[in-house]
Amino acid sequence: MRYSEAPIFFHGALQCAASVQGKGLAIMIKMENVCKNFGDLEVLKNVNLEVREGEKLVIIGPSGSGKSTTVRCMNFLEEPTSGHVYIDGQELTAKNRTKLVRESISMVFQQFNLYPHMTVLRNLTIAPVKLHHKSKKEAEELAYHYLDVVGLRDKAHAYPTMLSGGQQQRIAIARALCSQTKIILFDEPTSALDPETIQEVLDVMIRLAKENITMVVVTHEMGFARQVADRVVFMADGQILEEGTPDHFFTNPENERVRQFLGKIIRS
Amino acid sequence: MSGIFSLRAWEKVWLYRGTFLLGLFNTVRTAVFAILLALALGILFGLMATSGKRALRAVSRVYVELIQNTPVLLQTCFLYYALAFSGHSIGIITTGILALGIYTGAYMAEVVRAGIEAVPKGQFEAAQSQGFSYLEKMYYIILPQSIKIMLPPMVNQVVNLIKNTSCLYIIGGADLISLTYSFVTGENTGGAYAPAYLISGLLFFVICFPLSKTASSWETALKRREQRQVFARKNAGGKEAMADE
């Protein structure tokens, strides 16, 4: 597949700022003492985390460790039982979440969650038109631009169910880009894919990672983590056990639990 | 002269055709307004039943269970007589519209609830994550997907409502069933049982049958479309897309 060489940012909505990513820049996401319980189950136990503008944060860890819940708290798909979440300096609350999420955060899901009753083009334009008050023409221009970015311009008039999983996920990424938010959350974006379509999605994400978008990615793709992450966070049992640069992580982790986990992943 | 082959009986029905048409008119008039009320209540309580707020869910539950587990005849009498004796007479037609609307509304609410719950959770989350407000999410994303699931059972409820206008008989209504009954028992008109009830039944049938037919053909079309989608997905090699459902 060929990707267009067009720049990812469009209409100058977001400018590529400092090239030194994650250093000395504004804090885009801040989680402060976040706890989340589902009934008696404590899924998050006092999570503290900061993500800076343009930073690529990768969250890894065994399943059931609270990785997904952590990113889902960042856009209030899950409301923390206690603690605070700040987006770009503003506290995220049940009251302001619709507005704040609309303006600042997009999300890419494990199961894509495209709207099956709409064409690809409509999937991409509905939020810009209905929520961001763009004209239909503007929104379509934007949509075709991002379809080029993910290499699927020819699928504009297809319905999601007609596409393969990898294609659906690339459309979902284009949909997230159409909202032109500073933050994109990825919740295990390749976990539901056939092995042979994982790479096409990762390629798109690697390309995004070169831009100044703040990305938080929950993934099991260690190669991806190593290649694009500015920082890696390891979670287990609802807590952050270790965080550091990919180099630190993959060559010399301090925590025994991390070593065990990486040992298993790399062996398999 | 009550026989089905009695020419005189048929003549009498023809002579009094105005009575049947008036009954039909009253039945249809009551039904139309009751359907609108039932739809409004169904959407409102159906949305409440699927909301995140426990109090709203509870209110909706109480409404649905109370109405579904008591006879519509009782509800009609309650509304008419209980209110009349407390000095708030609201008239037979209004009573009929309210009673049937509230009764069918409880079933409509269940249809709406089931339709919304049939939409995968990921659709709600995707809409929320894009910043759709509750109403926008429902209007643009969820209801368009559930409407095709809701329509066939909704039409069936409409058919039931039309037939249930016969309950107005208990409060002295002027609907088709009530007028048919007064016709066959009337001093001057009485006796033509078979033709009168046949005609009355035929009038109900010509209204309800096309509706039922529409509902079942929508249902078939829906199933066929789903099969086509599964087929298309298989052809596209989207094995993983099916894990979604």
Return residues 77-136 of B near A (CB < 8 Å). 120, 122-123, 125-126, 128-133, 136
Would the CB atoms of B129 and A106 count as touching at under 8 Å?
yes
Confidence at B232, pLDDT banded by 50, 70, 90: low
Q: Which of B51, B129, B141 to mutate to test the interface with A (most CBs of A within 10 A)?
A: B129
Q: Is residue A18 part of a domain?
A: no
Give the distance, in angstroms, between the CA of residue A178 and the centroid of all CA atoms in the same chain.
Answer: 14
Q: Is pLDDT above 70 for B10? A: yes
Q: Are A26 and A52 in contact (CB under 8 A)?
A: yes
> What residues of chain A lie within 8 A of the CB of B150, using their CB?
none
Is-contact B118 B48, C-beta < 8 A? no
Q: For A164, which of B120, B132, B236 is closest by C-beta distance?
A: B236
Counting every residue, how long is chain A?
268
Residue of A nearest to B245 (CA): A111
Q: Does residue A249 surpass a pLDDT of 90?
A: no
| Residue B99 C-alpha from the chain's centroid | 12
String of DSSP letters for B32-57: HHHHHHHHHHHHHHHHHHTSS-HHHH
Q: What is the pLDDT of residues A129-171, one digit of tens each?
A: 999 999 999 999 999 999 999 999 999 999 999 999 999 999 9
Neighbours of A222 (CB within 10 A): 18
Tens of pLDDT, residues B68-105: 999 999 999 888 888 778 877 788 888 999 999 999 99
Is residue A2 domain-resident?
Answer: no
A1 lies in a domain? Answer: no
Name every chain B residue with its beta carbon within 8 A of the beta carbon of A103.
131
In a domain, A131, yes or no: yes
Separation CA B45–CA B63 (nearest Å): 8
pLDDT level of residue B221 (50, 70, 90 thresholds): confident
Q: Which residues of A touch B (CB under 8 A)?
A: 75, 77, 98-99, 101-103, 105-107, 109, 111-117, 126-127, 130-131, 160-165, 167-168, 175, 179, 185, 192-194, 197
β pairing state of A105-108 and A183-187 = parallel
Residue type for B81, please?
Y
Domains of chain B: 7-243 (1.10.3720.10)
Q: Which residue of B has its CA nearest to A76?
A: B129
Total domain count for chain A?
Answer: 1
Using CA atoms, how far apart are residues A206 and A30, in angstroms rounded to an integer?
A: 24
Classify residue B201 by its DSSP letter: H
pLDDT digits 0-9 by tens, A59-108: 999 988 999 999 999 999 999 999 999 999 999 999 999 999 999 999 99
Nearest to B244 among A106, A111, A164 (CB): A111
Chain A residue with Cα closest to B143: A117
Rounded to whole angstroms, the Cα distance separating A61 from A254 reads 15
Whether A115 sits inside 8 A of B238 (CB atoms) is no
Distance, CA of A22 to CA of A231 (rounded, Å): 9
Output phi, psi for B41, to 5 deg.
-65, -40
Whether residue A15 is contained in a domain is answered as no
- Are A112 and B244 an interchain contact pair (Cβ–Cβ within 8 Å)? yes
- Chain A residues in contact with B129 by the CB 8 A cut-off are 75, 77, 101, 105-107, 109, 185
Determine how β-strand A231-236 pairs with β-strand A82-87.
unpaired
What is the average pLDDT across B167-178? 86
Asked whether residue A4 is assigned to any structural domain, the reply reads no
Distance in Å, alpha carbon of A256 to nearest chain B alpha carbon: 35
B239 Cβ under 8 Å from any chain A Cβ: yes
Nearest neighbour of A101 by CB, restricted to B131, B237, B243: B131
Task: Give the domain extent around A101.
Answer: 27-267
pLDDT at A19: 40
What residues in B contact A163, CB-CB < 8 Å? 236, 238, 241
Complex prediction ipTM: 0.89
Contact B240 A192 (CB under 8 A): yes
Contact A173, A208 (CB under 8 A): yes
The chain-wide mean pLDDT, for chain B, equals: 87
What is the secondary structure of chain A as a DSSP string? Answer: -------S--TTSS----SSTTSSPPEEEEEEEEEEEETTEEEEEEEEEEEETT-EEEEE--TTSSHHHHHHHHTTSS--SEEEEEETTEE--TTTHHHHHHHHEEEE-TT----TTS-HHHHHHHHHHHTS---HHHHHHHHHHHHHHTT-GGGTTS-GGGS-HHHHHHHHHHHHHHTT-SEEEEESTTTTS-HHHHHHHHHHHHHHTTSS-EEEEE-S-HHHHHHH-SEEEEEETTEEEEEE-HHHHHH----HHHHHHHHHHHH-
User: Does residue B143 belong to the interface with chain A, where contact is any CB pair within 8 Å?
Assistant: no
CATH number at residue A148: 3.40.50.300
Interchain CB distance below 8 Å, A164 and B141: no
Task: Choose, out of A73, A96, A101, A111, the residue to mutate when testing the contact with B (most B CBs < 10 Å).
Answer: A111
- pLDDT higher than 50, residue A201: yes
> Across chain A, what does the average pLDDT equal?
89
Is residue A54 in some structural domain? Answer: yes
What angle do the packed helices B17-49 and B143-164 form, to 10 degrees?
140
- Please tell me which residue, A196 or B122, carries the higher pLDDT value: B122
pLDDT at B236 over 80: no
What type of residue is A170? Answer: R
Structural domain includes residue A19: no
- Report the residue of chain A nearest B130, measured CA to CA: A102
Instruction: Kindly list the residues from chain A whose CB atom is less than 8 angstroms away from the CB atom of residue B130.
Output: 101-102, 106, 127, 131, 175, 179
Partner-chain contact B131 A165, CB within 8 Å = no
- The predicted pLDDT at position B142 comes to 95
